[in-house]
Amino acid sequence: MERLREGVNGIAVKIILGLIIFSFLFAGVGGFITAGNVEPAALVGQREISVNQFEQAYQNERQQMETQSGEMATALLNSPEYLSQFKRNVLDRMINQALLDQYVDELGFRVSETQIKQSIREIPSFSSNGIFNNDQYLAALRRTGLTSAQFADYIRQDLEREYLVNALQNSEFVLNNEINLLHEIEAQTRSVRTLSLPLADFTKTVTITPEQKKAYYDQNAFRFLRPEQFKIAYVELSGTDLAALAEITDEEAQTYYQANLTTFGTAELRKVRHIMIEGKDDAAEKEAASVLAQLNSGADFATLAKTHSDDTFSAEQGGELDWIEKGVMDPEFEKAAFSLPSKGSISEVVKSDFGFHVIQLDDLKPSDAKPFEEMRVEILDQLKLQQAAEKFYEQSSLLAEKAFELPDNLNDAADAVGVKVKETDFVALNELTGVLANPAVYKVLGQTEVRDDGLNSEAIEVGPEHLLIVRVNEVRPEMVLPFTEVDSQVEAILLQQESKKAAQALLDTLIADLKKGDSSSLDKSGYAFSEEKILTRGSAEQDVVALSYKMPTPLKGQSEYAQTQNRKGDLILVQLDDVQLPKIPETDLKGANADKMLNASINSALSSVLGQLKEKIDVVYSLDSNKE
């Protein structure tokens, strides 16, 4: 364990157990097995992280984020800065995994075949009703292109990493004074007053001349660079859209409901007796009618079945049959059996393909399935999706075929499947939104035949039953915008800068005087501090909170001063008057604070290990995370 704990300087690690193999499995991990002859995304010692591996991991995490956060995730991922950092984080976690894998090999950690098999058996997606299902397991492997040996190897690597991390976790502990110190730091409150200097107040006093604007433009022309832009035409085919157009009748829904009744609960079951007279002639029918007459006169059904029924097997049981449900018996027999109103009821003579029957209802178990009216909307939606799925695969083939046959326009392909060609105005790749904001689209738009030759792209899958075909109608090269087009933008920048200088000058004067105990400049300024606020770490004004908790505790009867700014850019002067320490509760080694301290200690140990590994093992980043 001493080897694990060596090293004190490392990159903060939030997620070491992330990117566990199963999160990749259904995202197409089979593609990891082979890598093309291209530069890897990163090189960790002698191990490569291929571009394909990185793209699969990135897509997996992106889809998870979009599923969990919806529109918020889409907005964040449309930001080039955020997207670049997001991709870098994904790559960093993959590098950390590779480092840990090599360390596991160095330490000689190994897991047995029995442990691997047990781990696979415990994966929920391979189980039915809590029992491992080998058919589901093999089907999952076929979908991903993995062999059982390859998947077992991924499980082995994952278990070995887990044991390494567990070794660190189990070696960490916390002390009483550490827990008390954490409580004191987290639960303390701070008494502050704030003074805001809105930049808008200073903008009124600032004048920007044409000469200043032109000089700023000449010195900062690179700030007004318009990136390469494209006019993009595209055709979108979506199973969801097709489902909205699908037409399903109530009769079709009813048929589906009856055929799948067990899906909505248990079907009605009936237990019946019957007396069967074989034959289809008048004599057989008359005999059956005679039996019915005897029954109606009070004869015992079981007795007559034993003496008259040609179904010898059931006749021995007094005509008794097993429980039946709809859809398994002769239609006419079934219709009569399920029409009997109550136990003991006897049917008329029923003709079937086997002869003539007289039926008696012995018992029944009513269906507990939800009624059709309750399930109607759900069934209609399901049938629409089924119909849309069938139509989608038919139309997607037709769309791709037409786009390939007539590669210089999208109109014919769109007409073939009954959709419209959509077009964008000039837009940079990092400004694409909606369905076009997809890495697969970025990649295709970089292909020579699409970008430069103006040909239709291949079909691009952007989601389940959701594809696009794109073409570039026009390209506008990167250029520095002329001064006349950015005049107002330059003026706004200069106004912001000069206003901030004026506000900062006043703020510097206020702080200097207040630290000397002189409030004359404050009185002259026309600004004033707010009423006292008691802040906690969770208070709403996080800009002020973050600053105030970094400020030193003031001496008794004095105040400390510092500045920050809000999201608008307005300057804020913070006056810290006092720090209140909390009452230390009885130490709980199993409480929330103990858990926080333990997690922090574990995180520090993991960071140290990774820091040391990065000093020993060369890590080369080849992939530019700013590129799509």
Residues 28 and 157 in one domain: yes
Residues 157 and 204 in one domain: no
Residues 460 and 381 in one domain: yes
Please check whether residue 585 lies inside any domain of the structure: no
| 14 three-state secondary structure | coil
Residues 25 and 123 in one domain: yes
How many domains is the chain partitioned into structurally? 4
Given 422, 451, 477, the domain boundary residue is 477
Residues 432 and 329 in one domain: no
List of E strands, 38-79: 42-44, 47-49
Please check whether residue 257 lies inside any domain of the structure: no
Please check whether residue 182 lies inside any domain of the structure: no
Q: What is the CATH number of the domain that holds 439?
A: 3.10.50
Please check whether residue 173 lies inside any domain of the structure: yes
Residues 410 and 463 in one domain: yes
pLDDT at 588: 52
| 384 three-state secondary structure | helix
Could you tell me if 169 and 4 are in contact, meaning their C-beta atoms sit under 8 angstroms apart? no
pLDDT at 6: 34
Euclidean distance between CA atoms 279 and 288, whole angstroms: 10
pLDDT at 33: 33
pLDDT at 34: 36
The letter for the amino acid at 298 is: G
What is the phi/psi pair of residue 580, to 5°?
Answer: -105, 120
DSSP-assigned letters across all residues of 465-497: TEEEEEEEEEEE--EEPPHHHHHHHHHHHHHHH
pLDDT at 184: 66
Please check whether residue 628 lies inside any domain of the structure: no
Please check whether residue 482 lies inside any domain of the structure: no
Residues 425 and 294 in one domain: no
pLDDT at 434: 86
Q: Which residues of the chain have pLDDT under 70?
A: 1-38, 71, 129, 144, 167-185, 244-245, 261-263, 265, 388, 584-605, 623-628
pLDDT at 582: 76
Please check whether residue 252 lies inside any domain of the structure: no
Q: What is the CATH number of the domain that holds 295?
A: 3.10.50.40
Residues 195 and 285 in one domain: no
Could you tell me if 617 and 98 are in contact, meaning their C-beta atoms sit under 8 angstroms apart? no
The residue segments making up the domain with residue 114 are: 2-177+593-621
- Nearest C-alpha neighbor of 280 from the set 178, 352, 362: 352
Q: What is the CATH number of the domain that holds 116?
A: 1.10.4030.10
Residues 383 and 511 in one domain: no
- Nearest C-alpha neighbor of 622 from the set 38, 36, 13: 38
Residues 204 and 173 in one domain: no
Given 339, 366, 393, the domain boundary residue is 366
Residues 43 and 152 in one domain: yes
The full 3-state SS of 137-158, as one line of letters, equals HHHHHHHHCCCHHHHHHHHHHH
Angle at CA of residue 547, ends 545 and 548, nearest 5°: 65
What is the phi/psi pair of residue 597, to 5°?
Answer: -65, -40
Please check whether residue 109 lies inside any domain of the structure: yes
Given 336, 366, 396, the domain boundary residue is 366
| 42 three-state secondary structure | strand
Residues 14 and 158 in one domain: yes
